[in-house]
Every structure is written in structure tokens, then in C-alpha cells.
Structure 1
Amino acid sequence: MSLKNKEIWFKKWIVCKQTYEQISDESGYSVSTLQRYFNVMLGNAPKLTYSQNKEVSLSAD
């Protein structure tokens, strides 16, 4: 399975909310294989960074 295909199927699982079964039917890989690949990809997810602003604007009615 190429990295590009893994990323495409991972995106369908995360963003498009497809089930393992749906992706398994499309890809030809078993559910357990997909779960193993996706768990590795989740483990290597990038860390999100943010800058902390000291000033906050809040408007309420």
C-alpha cells in the first residue's frame, strides 16, 4: 500500500466519516490492516502550536 493511498483512505476515515468497512471494500485491505495503518498515522500526527495572545476581545449581546 503506497503512502499516498494510506493518506487518501485516512482522510476519508477522518474527514468524510467513512467506516473501516467502507474503506476496506474500496481498498481491498482488511479492517484490521486499515486499523493498524491508521493507528500508526494517528501516533505520528503533527503537534499543533499556537501563539498565546495576552489580549482578548469579547463581544456579547
Structure 2
Amino acid sequence: MKKIFSAFLIFQIGKKQNNDSDNFDEQIAEHKKENVQLLKELDALIKATLEEKQREAAAEKLLIE
């Protein structure tokens, strides 16, 4: 009886560890998706800033001329 109970406990512990690692993999995947989205937003902000700086430089150039 002890052997059966021990085997059952080992099975349950292994099952929990497997579930934990699955959750960890899911969390990593979710964080990667969030990071990609944040990088896309950052890229858009950088492009918008560069475009604004270029417009300002062009406007200054026109004022000087």
C-alpha cells in the first residue's frame, strides 16, 4: 500500500511540475507578444519624431531663405 501511495504522490508532483512548466512557457510566449507590440509602438513613435524633426528643419530652411 505504501508503494502505491508513494507512486501516486510522485505522479502528482510530476504532473504539477509539468503544469508549472507549461504555464511558464505560456507566460514567456505572452511576454514575447507584448514585447513585439511595444517595439512596434516604439518604432512608430521614433518614425513620427523623425518626420516631425525633418518638417521643422525644412520649415527653418524656408524661413532662412
Q: TM-score, normalised by structure 2?
A: 0.27
Tell me which of the two structures has the higher relative contact order, counting C-alpha pairs closer than 8 angstroms and 6 or more residues apart: 1
Greater helix content: 2
State the structure with more CA Rg. 2
